[in-house]
Structure 1
Amino acid sequence: MTDLKQRFQTETNLVGAWLSIGHPTVAEVTATRGFDFVLIDTEHTTINLETVENMSRGVDAAEGDTETLVRVPSDDPVRIKRVLDIGVAGIMVPRIETAEAARDVVNAVTYPPNGMRGVASGRAATYGDAFQEYVETADEKITTVVQIETPTGLENVGEIAAVEGIDAVFVGPADLSANLGIFGEWDSDRLDAAIEKVVTAGDEAGIPVGTLVVDPDDIEMRVEQGFDFLIVGKDTSHLSAANERIRTRYEDALARSTAPASNED
């Protein structure tokens, strides 16, 4: 199987799923649906490293080729190191604003002598059984995605996207709109222009640009905006929408069954 890093480099229209419920069953069930990857969010959730490890096991247990990315809370190299030691396919790092910050992220995911990632024989290295092989090949396989979410990041997105070792750029629409002072104004011309700038920067650097779509009705719009990949849907949103839909259907059925009979002949 081609690893996710290579697929980002050679394929278009990859599709992912967003996971914020910290349970391996949710990860495993999602991975059975044919996604190229799942994204476990540890920035805005209470998911800890042990849970990430078990969710990754859930993804690995599912049939198919789905891989695991983890959104880390920040560009802290210690946190990045510990996540990668779990054996996931890569990371997404929020709020990257400069090329220097992007290079720091690449440095954190890269083993010496070219980087600073600490060497250990954890799950990623099959607990030592594939220690040397993993260390020698990991740099070529770890997927590194950075998020553009601020005006400063937007200003520097061309330089950020051009940093060697950055595999993809991701637009955080909620944070970007908030930081532009237009939170929730999804039809704003300013937000459209910002998105276009990021997409153009990715095209010029030869790396894909993606975003998150929670509302299925927005998928076509994001495709038309030129995004190369999408994370479609979020586990909590799916659960909420499905519960609302089934409860409403039941209430509608009850209403129809108790409606007064027609007096028509």
Structure 2
Amino acid sequence: MELSVNRFKQAITAGHSQIGLWCSLPGSYVAECVAGSGYDWLLFDTEHSPGDPLTVLAQLQAVAPYPVSAVVRPAANDPVLIKRFLDLGAQSLLIPMVNTAEEARAAVAATRYPPGGIRGVSGLTRATGFGRIAGYAEHAEAQLCLLVQIETREALDRIEEIAAVEGVDGIFVGPADLAASLGHVGKPGHPEVVAEVEDAITRIIAAGKPAGILTPDTAFAARCVELGTTFTAVGIDAGILARQSEALLQRFRA
């Protein structure tokens, strides 16, 4: 049994645009439903959803047969949570609220086995094929993709420092929390927020890292791709269900 190649990491490293969908609804059924929709990647969220390691396990299993990459967002930059998702077989992680280079280095360390990091060792996990992948501990790092999320004024001011951390494979801009940090909570479309997001994307790319974002605003998503985002999430499963179900009803209420 061989270690799976991380196609998502390969694609963003090569600069190939990857269009994704945010999955905030826990459970394998919805995950499998959208896995066949043709997106390049799906983000399984456990920060702003009821998701946890057990629900993510079911989601990873559900989408495994499909040609789509899975990215998991832990609830926090916590080495225990990171370890659990890696042991479940997640190869790409998005770490929220990374504000400094020190916090970025801590996230990297959580994904590396000693002596290069602090990840705990177990030979009988889903990630190791339950002990069937020869040399997993030696080779896992090459197929792991670590994305860090900047979503505060402090993080904006330190983009170049965060980008310089070895082991950070991409930087993701979070417009919602960034808007709050800039004094415009609930208004990610505010001109100041938009200007900061666009500037951040440009600076991330100039620093030599792939840039990513989530925005259900299709026009702004296209603008971000134009600016150079390599991993761009363009919708959220719960939002699609809520808004489209409302729109369908309004056709008959009108």
Q: TM-score, structure 1 length as denominator? A: 0.88
Q: Look up the match of 1:52.
A: 56
Q: Look up the match of 1:190.
A: 192
Q: Look up the match of 1:39.
A: 43
The residue type paired with residue 46 of structure 1 is P
Where structure 2 has 5 or more consecutive residues not aligned to the other structure, the ranges are none
RMSD over aligned CA atoms reads 1.7
The residue type paired with residue 34 of structure 2 is T
The residue type paired with residue 69 of structure 2 is E
In structure 2, the residue corresponding to 1:177 is in which secondary structure?
helix
Instruction: Give the 5 Å matches for 1:129-208.
Output: 129-130=132-133, 132-208=134-210
Is this contact kept in 1: 2:198–2:224, CA < 8 A?
Answer: no
The residue type paired with residue 179 of structure 1 is S
Is this contact kept in 2: 1:147–1:172, CA < 8 A?
Answer: yes
In structure 2, the residue corresponding to 1:125 is in which secondary structure?
coil
Q: Look up the match of 2:27.
A: 23
Q: Look up the match of 1:7.
A: 11
Is this contact kept in 2: 1:15–1:232, CA < 8 A?
Answer: yes
Deviation at 1:194, TM superposition (A): 1.9
In structure 1, the residue corresponding to 2:166 is in which secondary structure?
coil
> Using the alignment, how far apart are the partners of 1:37 and 1:219 within structure 2?
15
Deviation at 1:198, TM superposition (A): 1.9
Correspondent of 1:117 among 116, 119, 128: 119
In structure 1, the residue corresponding to 2:128 is in which secondary structure?
helix
Q: Look up the match of 1:126.
A: 129
Deviation at 1:217, TM superposition (A): 4.1
Is this contact kept in 2: 1:40–1:69, CA < 8 A?
Answer: yes
The residue type paired with residue 242 of structure 2 is S
Deviation at 1:2, TM superposition (A): 5.5
In structure 2, the residue corresponding to 1:46 is in which secondary structure?
coil
Q: Deviations over 1:71-105 (max 9, x none)?
A: 11111101100011000121111111111110111
Q: Look up the match of 1:80.
A: 82
The residue type paired with residue 32 of structure 2 is E
What percentage of residue pairs aligned between the two structures are identical? 38
In structure 2, the residue corresponding to 1:206 is in which secondary structure?
coil
In structure 1, the residue corresponding to 2:225 is in which secondary structure?
helix
Deviation at 1:193, TM superposition (A): 3.4
> Using the alignment, how far apart are the partners of 2:83 and 2:189 within structure 1?
39
Work out the number of aligned pairs and report it.
Answer: 249
Deviation at 1:190, TM superposition (A): 2.5
Deviation at 1:115, TM superposition (A): 1.3
In structure 1, the residue corresponding to 2:119 is in which secondary structure?
coil
Is this contact kept in 1: 2:98–2:150, CA < 8 A?
Answer: yes
